[in-house]
Amino acid sequence: MTQFHPKITPIYQTSVFTFEDLNELEAYFEQPGNQYMYSRFGNPNTDELAAEVNKLEGGAGAVVTSSGMSAILVAVLTYCQAGDHVLCAEEIYGGSASLLSQELTRIGIAVTFVPGDELYNLGNYVQDNTKLLLAETISNPLLQVLDIQKLAIETKRAGIKLVVDNTFASPIITKPLALGADMVMHSVTKYLSGHSDVTAGVVVCREEEDLKRAKQVVMTFGVNLSPFESWLGARGLKTLKLRMRQHSQGALEIARFLEQHPKVEQVWYPGLEQHPQHELAKVQGNGLYGGMLSFRIADDLETVNTFMQALQHIPFAPSLAGVTTSISHPLRTSHRSFSPEKLQKLNITLGVIRLSVGIEDGEELLADLEQALERV
Ligand SMILES: *Cc1c(COP(=O)(O)O)cnc(C)c1O
């Protein structure tokens, strides 16, 4: 066949690769990096996406997964087996909390949730069988910023691994491995792919040994990503830096607008001076604070529905990090599985709206928010 020279990697939409004979097969097993065999074990597109994310996060290597949820599963199964115990930050994506408290407990991996203000002092929580702490760089949904360096010192002292969900920050804002984390995972569905058209995840390891184990889990549990989704992810990644700058700029503008609006009771955005971890966010985030913010209007169903209906350009879509702006409602979507007591403790009330700021011109967004707030 003619040799073509495509500028970017084509989509290898194939489940399997052929071999000339047993010699070629043996060569694959001796040096798996040079050839492919079966797409569940590896494919040029999945490898490309993994390599590009790894470059950004500065790890020993990465493996891509079918979703952010399976990335968390792989992270936990890399370090844990039945009889082990994990720690998890209390304020975390609802799906992560459910995976740990409802599913992994059933196969013998216990979990304890640690309140945000006790994360730097794990003494009361660590048991002999504790293997890791899972926490988010910037938490979902109320944007608490964690000091990764401090957490890494504490987990090292406690003899456990630090696994960071870096989905909200992205490596443009924070690179947890450089700050001492052992493993970073992402919902690639969000900023890394960035266009609301992919469901994917990634696990990035600092140690070669962990990477080997993570790859094994992906292969044997079959939570690999498809070539096409990998290709879309790699495509999105190319503009990550530009997008994060624009998301951050837009979000700061909107946060400042909401902060002074009489109908808005509270705004959570790390870029605001009044945010409790603003100084940390400034240093840890290279001056960027990301595109996510949350704010509270009246804790009243009618008010929330009226606000959602009144928005003309900003849809209610229970996800985040796309190039177009959207709102979500943590209480009724991402954090639906939390008990009423936990929701109240975390301050996630009915009036809390989570805003994912896209890359549009700020003026149109501000005008839309303004007119919708006028209606409530
Ligand atoms: C969305 C999300 C996940 C889960 O990712 P999926 O791609 O939906 O499986 C995990 N962590 C965070 C912080 C998220 O926002």
pLDDT at 33: 78
DSSP conformation class of 323: S
Amino acid at 30: E
Q: How far apart are CA 252 and CA 271, in angstroms?
A: 6
Q: How far apart are CA 65 and CA 201, in angstroms?
A: 5
Strand locations in the chain (E): 61-65, 85-89, 110-114, 130-136, 161-165, 183-187, 201-205, 266-268, 292-296, 326-328, 352-356
What are the DSSP calls for 274-308, one per residue?
Answer: TSTTHHHHHHHTTT---SEEEEE--S-HHHHHHHH
Distances (CA, A) of 106 to 109, 114, 143: 7, 20, 30
Domain 22-237: CATH class, spelled out: alpha beta
95 close to ligand 1 (CB < 6 Angstrom):
yes
**Which runs of consecutive H residues, i.e. helices, occur in 196-300?**
208-221, 227-237, 240-259, 278-284
Residue ranges of the chain with per-residue pLDDT less than 50: none
Cβ neighbour number for residue 83 with a 10 Å cutoff: 9
pLDDT at 1: 61
Amino acid at 170: S
210 close to ligand 1 (CB < 6 Angstrom):
no
Identify the three-state secondary structure at position 315. coil
Which of 65, 103, 134, 187 has most ligand 1 atoms within 8 Å of CB, for mutation? 187
57 close to ligand 1 (CB < 6 Angstrom):
no
pLDDT at 3: 85
> Could you tell me the two tokens for 354?
């989570």
Does 93 participate in catalysis according to the annotation?
A: yes
Q: Where in the chain is the domain with CATH 3.40.640.10?
A: 22-237
Q: Is the peptide bond before 141 cis (omega within 30 degrees of 0)?
A: yes
Q: Which atom of ligand 1 is nearest to the CA of 188?
A: 7
pLDDT at 229: 98
> Active-site residue among 28, 40, 120, 212?
40
pLDDT at 2: 72
pTM of this prediction? 0.97
39 close to ligand 1 (CB < 6 Angstrom):
no
φ/ψ of 189, rounded to 5, equals -50, -30
> Could you tell me the two tokens for 42?
């590896």
Q: Which atom of ligand 1 is nearest to the CA of 320?
A: 15
pLDDT tens for each residue of 321-335: 999 999 999 999 989
pLDDT at 32: 76
* 178, 152 contact by CB (below 8 A): no
Cβ neighbour number for residue 252 with a 10 Å cutoff: 21
pLDDT at 34: 82
Q: How far apart are CA 202 and CA 74, in angstroms?
A: 9
> Could you tell me the two tokens for 200?
């994917």
Does 182 participate in catalysis according to the annotation?
A: no
* 331, 343 contact by CB (below 8 A): yes
Closest alpha carbon to 153 in 112, 181, 115:
181
Q: How far apart are CA 218 and CA 224, in angstroms?
A: 6
Does 165 participate in catalysis according to the annotation?
A: yes
Does 289 participate in catalysis according to the annotation?
A: no
pLDDT tens for each residue of 235-271: 999 999 999 999 999 999 999 999 999 999 999 999 9
Output the CA 352–ligand 1 centroid distance in Å: 19
Closest C-alpha residue for ligand 1 atom 4: 68
User: In this structure, which topology does domain 240-374 adopt according to CATH?
Assistant: Aspartate Aminotransferase, domain 1 (3.90.1150)
Q: Is the peptide bond before 32 cis (omega within 30 degrees of 0)?
A: no
pLDDT at 78: 98
